[in-house]
Structure 1
């Protein structure tokens, strides 16, 4: 600038020598004005440069510079526009206007709006554009249109360049008048543009340094947060907020991407941040599933970063663009949170207000943050897993300890459901036992809130619950459902009753594990989530399966204990039942307490005993006794039954010889009329067995009203024993009745003086015939004395009249009349109304023949040799060795010898019946408990030991003590001997049995009387 002034000065002085004084003065004035103007311009330029250099606030520098340039050049308007390299747009934020009436430039303008030759001049050649007079200068059409559209008369545009980069432009223009721009203006503007370029770079450098400091601060804060907190959700919250501020974006989020082998990929927004309320948070938006899959493909499959500076111009799929355009997103930066093959999720930044050019520094910083987030996640997962593992180990120790120290299975189950519910933050945890013979309402439940619907609020016999039970216990399958509705759809269960169950219980995620012990399913361990969906990890599943396994062991152990306890209680009740039966001669009196005891023994709601008097006609029946556990139950005696029903049962049990075992009445193949009747009564399960021996007597039936029950083999066998005992009781009762009748009959015969009946008559024709003959003779001679005999000698009677005297059964009475007629002692006739006409034979010789001392042989009875009754023990050992094992026979012999020593019995003989019972008992007992000969000897020794062992040591692998086994052996032998006592037929055996009730088994009989 100084050189130019100097040249002009030299020229003026040289010319002044030939100029006039006037011209000198004029030139001097012009020179002085020019010099003053140059100094003012120089001052303004220095001021501009000084301001540019002294301030780091680029926006303030540019605004001041625009105002100074406009004033310096006397321009009507001046603007400084910076070029955005991302979208090739000029952003005009700094402008000078001489008047407010002058319109402003748009804040943003595309670079391509400039005429093409101007673009080449400015951006390629880096030369200025100069227009002094828009109307006078020769311009092309594009230039003219540009100037006319903006109403520009004069214009100077200078590029702001740094090396090869175009940073912006300086535009000085007039809109009302033309202006001849001096060449010096261009030089000034070039200097100023150079200084502005330096200022921009300085501002960028300052901004980068500031950003770097902020980013280092952010990294330190993230690192400190990770180190100070193990709550990963708090860490996500802080990170999302901080990175949004540092990167100057409106949205940030951390997403977990879970890839299931058997299900679709799951995308979980762990945290989503938004800078203000009008911004849509990503977690609140319903994304197209393909958008998530696109993220996964780019970040995980292609192992790239998703960098989008301008969404509308990106090459992303249309559905992806559409989703984010709906949220007004313009720029996106996403980086995977992963390390090697361990891919966890993604961290994303989204710019909403404007497009953002993501620099390499931005990408590197976000990558560093993603690495720190990965470390934080792994630390949190390690802490969480360690904590869970500790809690699980503590829970397992608690359960195992409770299992070993307690037989209270309900207490153990309650502990398990409570701990699982709290550990997994589940809403509902249930242990449901559904094994055969178990009440379906046998469950223990944990609820996170008392407002939740529980098993107590639903019908457990609903078909939806039954379907679950079938899946878990019959098919022995697990149900693992993150999304229950999706699980139902994928397994074609949408049309089943499970849908109703899921809706009723409001289940979002569910887990069902069968409780097993070996191959036996005891029940189900169920976990429900109703507030949220829960993803079960492999370790969660392993832990729950371990708990289910321990629970199966605990239930098995508890059931073994309960079984032993139940066996003991059942033995007591069985003994009480048998004692009641044997101590009561009249079975009618003992049936009521017996049925009550049976109901208690089997835990059933109803027990009834029915008798069929006519063994060939099952339509005729008598309800001997019925017991109901509560009065509200409708029993068989409370309603009218179709006789066809009992005819059906009689044919099934006695003709077809079928045991009636109905676990589920509704699923049985019973006739419709029977099923309908029992359904009306509310009966769900039935067990009915025959009461019979050599002949049919009746039925013993158990009914369950409260639930469907599966009858076990042990229960069926036990009921068979009881029905046999009831049959024996009826035989005993009938025997007692017969003896009573015989005694009364004999007293009648003795009291009758009209005929002499002695022992010979009974021996020759039988006691029934003799009793019947005496009754008929008594009635005949009484009516004859009264003159009521007909002309032909017959008198009218019926069977019932004779039964009232003879106390025989109908069949026995008919057989006696028939035999008396065959012996010609009487004559009889019958009519259609069951009336009978009787007549005594008048031939006295026939009667004398049968009452004589001479015994008349029975034609129907074969003569047989007299059977030997008492045997040597060695003989019996040889005989029974053919039927039982050697050890069984030797144990029987050992038992008898022990008994001999205890009772100081010197006899060496015993009846065959007694030895056979003892031998069979030893055989069955050793087989049942797998006992060896020496073990059985020790049990027998304990029996006869005057001072039983206090140690009560275990003898066999069952864990049963010798004391328990001795008690069982004693009971078994007692019952068998009592049974044999009733069934004994020969006189000697009867005497022997009735004389040895205390197990003093030896018969006090001399050798010479053995054949007596």
Structure 2
């Protein structure tokens, strides 16, 4: 084929003649070009009227006022380069051999000149291409940061190809072509949206990979509206505002990394030289990527070791769970450049996660998640995944939450409220014991963590598990020591209560002393001793106030029997524990009475039992600790309270029994004395009368014996 005639390739002697500039190879001239090129002969026609030229050719020549012509092929070492053609607007008798030889010589010299020029042009282009590649290689290999490498590369490509966008796409799993993501999107035009702000069809990866990886061809699209491509790819190009795109694989042999694409927002023709240059650049990009990845991997390993050492140091320097959690989330959040990193501790007793208490945020612009309680019912599936050791990795939260197993309204709403674009949740275990989870959130951009980064997170989770377990063991040991100390203190307190109570003699003295000790021991506002009367009405028998400004309820009925069921233990060993009167007391009259007396939380424990009018054994008196604010009663407090009340009850029982015994003994002795002394006194008086002789002479004979 022949390229169109350029302006500099055509000469006319008169303006009256038509210029052939811009004219390509026509059907009328093909027979002569074949003769010229195919047989390497000079064609000379002194007169078109005296030749066997087809009519269509004659007409064409006449249109251009050509009456005769001579043409010579231009060859360089059997390589056709073109044709030199001389046209005349007059007929010739003949072209002389001298003219033919001269034109042949000119053609031969032209061949040398054209070849030299082409060689120079090719050399110049090769030099320019080498300079471009050298500059790109120098620049991209001068950086070991992958994002910086992509930034430098994109700027160079924009300058070289005069384009508006560079897309670098990665295929992490070549077994699944729908698993792809845009690793870098460089934009210089406001006519196109950024890929992070649109929803793309992952199925486009199948067509894309089939062409550039399987068929090993570049994707060349001059006009997306007219191109024969898959609908999924057409959709993606449309939402990205791309009209023209060329995609080249980034690979070496069978090792495929992804693809490099250059784009415009308008139709554009891509030349072979551009595609060839882009392929060469792509080969260098592969090497730069591998170099940067190798450095990144090495750096990550070093950072990983440093992070783990720092976390281990943090763990070993404290046994406080909050400090451990804070140290880990701060380090992990910084290393992974997360927008939010937080702990969720799992409570085995309730089988649920506790509210978020510890988090890392690089900026106050990121909303805090402290205190957030995820919807338990809808979070159950995620919780089971964590408990089974699975990681929850959502590089694109919006897409992931559309999956059936993740399709929960509450979780979607929570992710939207906190603007979570990517979510990475790592379970924390100690051996087989599930302890909790720490989570990374990215709210500005979608992020894909690679395998090495996930491995680092797992290692951090392992260290966190060890740290949390150590902290838990320390806390358990500390709690045990506290309980032992409290037990010793309680034992001392109980001994004191026992000793002092035994010094008292009356009921009120004993229980007033008990209430006084309980108020100080538990730091409560009020302690009262309650009795049930025969009709099961409840009234206050004894009371001790910490603050004198509190209103006393001594000797007042607390409530009538129909309102006191919640304060009437059914078993003598049962304790009634109320942490918050407002939420735990159901009887409205009782709740109103308690709140009117500033009683917001209380402990109540039976003190004595007896028989009712129906001869049924019932609790007859109780002791009650009252707090003016809601209070979480500890088990250790409950145990001490029960022990103190039981001890006092025993003392009262002993004293009461002793009183009963003393009264019985006194009654018995008085009765015995009366029953024995009365007859003896009578006999003694009778004998005294006999001895005096006043009773007659008949008994005088016995007086001597009676005196003996």
Scaled by the length of structure 1, the TM-score of the pair is 0.51
**Preserved CA contact (<8 Å) 1:78 1:170:** no
- What does residue 424 of structure 1 align with? 336
CA RMSD of aligned residues (A): 5.8
**Preserved CA contact (<8 Å) 1:167 1:197:** yes
What aligned pairs does 1:723-802 form with structure 2 within 5 A after superposition? Answer: 723-733=642-652, 736=655, 761-763=667-669
**Preserved CA contact (<8 Å) 2:341 2:440:** yes
- Structure 1 unaligned segments of length 5 or more: list them: 1-57, 81-91, 93-104, 601-605, 747-757, 767-846, 855-1012
Q: Distance in 2 between matches of 1:528 and 1:472?
A: 18
Q: Secondary structure of 1:392's match?
A: helix
- What does residue 546 of structure 1 align with? 462
Q: Distance in 2 between matches of 1:77 and 1:216?
A: 43
**Preserved CA contact (<8 Å) 1:577 1:594:** no
Q: Secondary structure of 1:489's match?
A: coil
Q: Does 1:411 align with 2:335?
A: no
- What does residue 490 of structure 1 align with? 403
Q: Does 1:719 align with 2:638?
A: yes
- What does residue 939 of structure 1 align with? none
- What does residue 12 of structure 2 align with? 70
- What does residue 507 of structure 2 align with? none
What aligned pairs does 1:658-697 form with structure 2 within 5 A after superposition? Answer: 690-691=606-607, 696=619, 697=621
CA shift in 2, pair 1:416/1:459, >3 Å:
closer
**Preserved CA contact (<8 Å) 2:526 2:625:** yes
What aligned pairs does 1:271-420 form with structure 2 within 5 A after superposition? Answer: 271-272=185-186, 288-300=201-213, 302=214, 304-308=216-220, 316-317=229-230, 319-320=232-233, 329-330=243-244, 332-338=246-252, 340-341=254-255, 343-349=256-262, 353-358=268-273, 362=277, 365-366=280-281, 368-402=283-317, 406-420=318-332
Q: Give the C-alpha shift of residue 253 in structure 1.
A: 3.9
Q: Does 1:242 align with 2:156?
A: yes
Q: Distance in 2 between matches of 1:503 and 1:638?
A: 57
The one-character-per-residue Cα deviations of 1:428-447 (angstroms, maximum 9, x if unpaired) are 22234453799956823322
Q: Distance in 2 between matches of 1:593 and 1:400?
A: 42
Q: Distance in 2 between matches of 1:182 and 1:281?
A: 72
**Preserved CA contact (<8 Å) 1:222 1:372:** no
CA shift in 2, pair 1:536/1:261, >3 Å:
farther
Q: Does 1:448 align with 2:362?
A: yes
**Preserved CA contact (<8 Å) 1:516 1:552:** no
Q: Does 1:650 align with 2:601?
A: no
Q: Does 1:597 align with 2:521?
A: yes
The one-character-per-residue Cα deviations of 1:876-899 (angstroms, maximum 9, x if unpaired) are xxxxxxxxxxxxxxxxxxxxxxxx
Q: Distance in 1 between matches of 2:589 and 2:361?
A: 42
What aligned pairs does 1:41-56 form with structure 2 within 5 A after superposition? Answer: none
CA shift in 2, pair 1:243/1:622, >3 Å:
same
CA shift in 2, pair 1:199/1:853, >3 Å:
farther
| Matched length | 638
What aligned pairs does 1:91-170 form with structure 2 within 5 A after superposition? Answer: 92=22, 114=26, 116-122=27-33, 126=37, 152-154=64-66
Q: Secondary structure of 2:532's match?
A: coil
CA shift in 2, pair 1:720/1:239, >3 Å:
closer
Q: Secondary structure of 1:540's match?
A: helix
Q: Distance in 1 between matches of 2:257 and 2:58?
A: 57
Q: Give the C-alpha shift of residue 365 in structure 1.
A: 2.3
Q: Distance in 1 between matches of 2:83 and 2:474?
A: 91
- Structure 2 unaligned segments of length 5 or more: list them: 505-509, 611-617, 681-708
CA shift in 2, pair 1:415/1:612, >3 Å:
same
What aligned pairs does 1:528-547 form with structure 2 within 5 A after superposition? Answer: 528-537=441-450, 538-547=454-463
Scaled by the length of structure 2, the TM-score of the pair is 0.69
Q: From 344, 347, 365, give the equivalent of 1:435.
A: 347
Q: Distance in 2 between matches of 1:436 and 1:699?
A: 34
Q: Secondary structure of 1:335's match?
A: strand
Q: Distance in 2 between matches of 1:702 and 1:219?
A: 84
- Which entry has the higher C-alpha Rg, 1 or 2? 1
Q: Distance in 1 between matches of 2:80 and 2:529?
A: 112
- What does residue 587 of structure 1 align with? 511
The one-character-per-residue Cα deviations of 1:421-476 (angstroms, maximum 9, x if unpaired) are 211112222234453799956823322112332244x5548768986995588777
- Higher RCO (Cα < 8 Å, 6 or more apart): 2
Q: Give the C-alpha shift of residue 726 in structure 1.
A: 0.5
Q: Give the C-alpha shift of residue 209 in structure 1.
A: 2.0
Q: Secondary structure of 1:270's match?
A: strand
